[in-house]
Amino acid sequence: MDYLQYLRFLPLEYQQRATLAPTSTWWSWRDRQVHVARAVRPEAAVRVLGIHGGGGHAGIIWPLAALAAEAGVEAMAIDLPLYGDTIEPRPEAVRYRDWVELLCEFVRAEHNTDGRPLILFGASMGGMLAYEIAARTGTVAHVVATCLLDPADPAARRAMVRLPLLGGPAPRLMRSITPILGDVRVPVRWLADMKNMSLDPELSRLCGRDPKGGGVRLPLGFLSDYLDFAHTPPETFTAAPVTLVHPAADRWTPPELSLRFLARIPERTRAVLLEGCGHFPIEEPGLGQLATTLREVLATTADTAR
């Protein structure tokens, strides 16, 4: 798991603080060997699970997870099927609902073996995953998300897909071709606007060509399943506090889309716009705002658990 190639894009102060190397562990799930990076802290009051998005993996999440571990929190980052070091026997058959079910079972298993509060940190598409897993399991202490993009929102769909014109009819179009072409795998960069992954062109190129991340080939059936997936309506969400930390200068997924979804959650929400940050938040002062917000969430969660 090569997280160092991503760590070097952070400001020097954070590079010097996020040096903890992860321990690779494995969790068996439905004939898959799921890779989970960990920094075990038995004395920690709180644990954090990082969830990557559609072009990511645990190595991309790890620099932020390492910062949490450096602050005394037990940190984990998981590789979802198709990405990272997780061993997937049938990549053509992976669907979005597999990710949801895997994460639900993983979070429940972690809860059953360790009662400490668990915070989910979802990056990009991982934000809605963290939200959905909290809603379905009822065992999550807090959700922190860089994005909350609901595929049921046509404007959100237009932002997600590489060709915005497909944003409106995309679910219907994908539904019609999935029975024939659902197992066909195409490069993620054909479907997603990887060039706007970061404000730093070099980092965007790295994300786009990473063979464990943005360089992966994604089955069309996965995209269809994602665009058609019915997430828990925000009006009914009461499972956990939700903190949105959306990059303010995000050129891929505009902050207003996430803010609109967050506003529909009836209570216990907070929004922090990360100043100067692109979709992959590495710039100051927004990165410092993200670190401060995470520390506040961790401290509040730890105090509540006492």
Scanning the structure block, which residue is given the tokens 């020097």? Answer: 12
For the chain, the straight-line distance linking the first and the last C-alpha, in angstroms and rounded, comes to 35
Neighbours of 14 (CB within 10 A): 20
Reported as half-sphere exposure (CB side, CA atoms, 13 A), residue 175 has a value of 7
pTM equals 0.95
Neighbours of 236 (CB within 10 A): 11
Reported as half-sphere exposure (CB side, CA atoms, 13 A), residue 77 has a value of 30
Give the structural domain span for 216.
4-305
d(CA 55, CA 209): 10
Q: Are 133 and 105 in contact (CB under 8 A)?
A: no
- The CATH number covering residue 170 comes to 3.40.50.1820
Tally of domains in the chain: 1
From the DSSP assignment, how many helices (H) and strands (E) are in the chain?
A: 12, 10
Coil, helix or strand at residue 198: coil
Q: ∠ CA(243), CA(41), CA(67), 5° rounding?
A: 50
- 236: tokens are 């009914």
Q: Are 134 and 243 in contact (CB under 8 A)?
A: no
Pairing of strands 74-78, 47-51: parallel
Q: Are 37 and 77 in contact (CB under 8 A)?
A: yes
Residue whose C-alpha is closest to residue 36's, from 93, 89, 75: 75
d(CA 91, CA 82): 6
d(CA 52, CA 59): 9
d(CA 98, CA 279): 25
Q: Are 146 and 277 in contact (CB under 8 A)?
A: no
Neighbours of 235 (CB within 10 A): 9
Provide the residue-wise pLDDT of the chain in tens; the chain has 306 residues: 689 999 999 999 999 888 888 999 999 999 999 999 999 999 999 999 999 998 899 999 999 888 888 778 999 999 999 999 999 999 999 999 999 999 999 999 999 999 999 999 999 999 999 999 999 999 999 999 999 999 999 888 888 776 555 556 666 667 777 777 889 999 888 888 888 999 999 999 999 999 999 999 999 999 889 988 999 999 999 999 999 999 999 999 999 999 999 999 999 999 999 999 999 999 999 999 999 999 999 999 998 877
d(CA 4, CA 284): 20
Residue 186 φ/ψ, nearest 5 degrees: -130, 155
